Amino acid sequence: MPEFDLIARLRARIAARADVPLGIGDDAALLQPPPGEQLAITADTLNAGVHFPHETRAEDLGWKTLAVNLSDLAAMGAQPRWCTLSLSLPHDDAAWVDAFADGFFALADAHDIALVGGDTTRGPLACAVTAIGSLPPGAALRRDGARVGDDVWVTGAPGEAAAALSLWQAGQLDVTCAAADPLHELWRGRLLRPQPRVQAGLRLRGLAHACVDISDGLLADLGHLCERSGVGAQLALAALPAMPRSTGISALQCIGWQLGGGDDYELCFTAAVQHRDAVVQAMDFAGVAVTRIGQIVATPGVVVHDADGNPWQPPQRGYQHFVG
């Protein structure tokens, strides 16, 4: 399929918008931000065999390609506005492109984000998105605002995407079709179709002192937040969200997935102790579960304590690129 035919297939799905004076079809797009707002810009690349299994269905890949970027905007408290999409495709396949677009635009439409440009090339399968959001000056959720004494919170159910990935790697889960075990199917959905916590991020404006998305693992990304803020954190194993287990899966495995698995795209944030009720109410309005898991302290580093108060060392602390 020629490049311009591919572009035409994507362009046919895009409606005209007042905030996109000039979209796909020129050398660059022209965008109209809301008056007085700042722009938040993020970019991510997903490579086959590194960030997703080669056999991942095109529709699921389309969804996830956009979701990982929307998660970054959510962590900043930004309202998603526009995005670009670049694809490296190993061969021409109109049906694959249409299925990818189905997943991509399903999520884009849900968050009212417009595709305004991109690029295509032939090569190993890879997908790259640049997403742009907006927010009022001074409203951004950043990594560098955590304060000693803050509560540490996490949204959703960390570890479920990592559980699915582990089952797939063990040959116990097929990512291309529904799993017979309802719990495994839930985990498969978390891996392939993560739900970016956009509404949670918007509700946390003016409430959270610091925020980060935990795509590389709860401990790793909380560690980044603490480093940027010049603080540390103490977490309690007993405070982690309850994670259901299926036969053959140990509690230790679940804890490892929760703390170091990654690929969750949940938000970890800090807020003042006196705002506990406000945090719960805000997340309730956002339709997102939230759990208080620890506290910010002055001593650098992230320490996890077991039920007896002893430091606990997880089997892994998170995903790192370029580490063999």
Q: How far apart are CA 237 and CA 230, in angstroms?
A: 23
CATH number of the domain where residue 242 is located: 3.90.650.10
Q: Would you give the distance in Å from CA 139 to the centre of its chain?
A: 20
User: Domain end: 82, 104, 135, which one?
Assistant: 135
SS3 130: strand
Nearest to 295 by CA among 155, 147, 159: 147
Q: Is 215 annotated as a binding residue?
A: yes
Q: Is 60 annotated as a binding residue?
A: no
CATH of the domain at 120: 3.30.1330.10
Residues 226 and 285 grouped into a single domain: yes
107 part of a folded domain: yes
Domain identity same for 171 and 228: yes
What does the DSSP assignment read for 153-184?
A: EEES-TTHHHHHHHHHHTT---TTS--SSHHH
Question: Would you say 275 is a known binding-site residue?
Answer: no
Q: Are residues 206 and 300 located together in one domain of the fold?
A: yes
Element of type H or E holding 65:
helix 58-76
How far, rounded to the nearest angstrom, does the alpha carbon of residue 94 sit from its chain's CA centroid?
Answer: 28
Q: Is 263 annotated as contributing to ligand binding?
A: yes
Structural domain count of the chain: 2
Residue 21, classed as helix, strand or coil, is: coil
The identity of residue 231, as a single letter, is V
Closest CA to 126 of 45, 66, 42: 45
Instruction: Tell me, letter by letter, the H, E, C secondary structure of 207-273.
Output: CEEEEEECCCCHHHHHHHHHHHHCCEEEEEHHHCCCCCCCCCCCHHHHHHHHHHCCCCCCEEEEECH
277 is in an annotated binding site: no
**Per-residue pLDDT, 318:** 53
Residue 154: beta bridge partners? 268, 291
Answer yes or no: is 272 within a domain: yes
Same domain, 89 and 190: no
Q: For residues 86 and 185, state if they share a domain.
A: no
287 and 164, same structural domain?
A: yes
What pLDDT, on a 0 to 100 scale, did the predictor assign at position 95? 92
What DSSP designation does 242 have?
P
pLDDT of residue 317: 56
112 known ligand binder: no
d(CA 88, CA 67): 18
Distance (Å, whole) CA 260 – CA 214: 9
* Count of alpha carbons within 13 angstroms of residue 107, beta-carbon side: 28
Measure the CA–CA gap between 297 and 8, rounded to whole angstroms.
54
Say whether both 104 and 162 belong to one domain. no
Comparing CA positions, the residue from 201, 214, 162 lying closest to residue 279 is 201
Q: Is residue 126 part of a domain?
A: yes
- 160 and 308 share one domain: yes
What are residue 49's phi and psi, to 5 degrees? 85, -10
Residue type present at position 264? D
Are 109 and 180 within one domain? no
- For residues 228 and 126, the answer to whether their CB atoms sit within 8 Å is no
Of 135, 163, 189, which marks where a domain is finished? 135
- What's the pLDDT score for residue 308? 82
321 in a structural domain: no
Are both 157 and 230 inside the same structural domain?
yes
Choose the final residue of a domain: 90, 105, 135: 135
Same-domain pairing of 161 and 308: yes
Residue range(s) defining the domain that contains residue 75: 3-135
Residues with pLDDT less than 50, the chain: 320-324
102 is in an annotated binding site: no
Residue with tokens 């401990």: 219
In a domain, 143, yes or no: no
Residue 52 makes CB contacts below 8 A (sequence gap 6+) with 46, 61, 64
The whole-angstrom separation of Cα 221 and Cα 51 is 17
Q: Are residues 122 and 268 in the same domain?
A: no
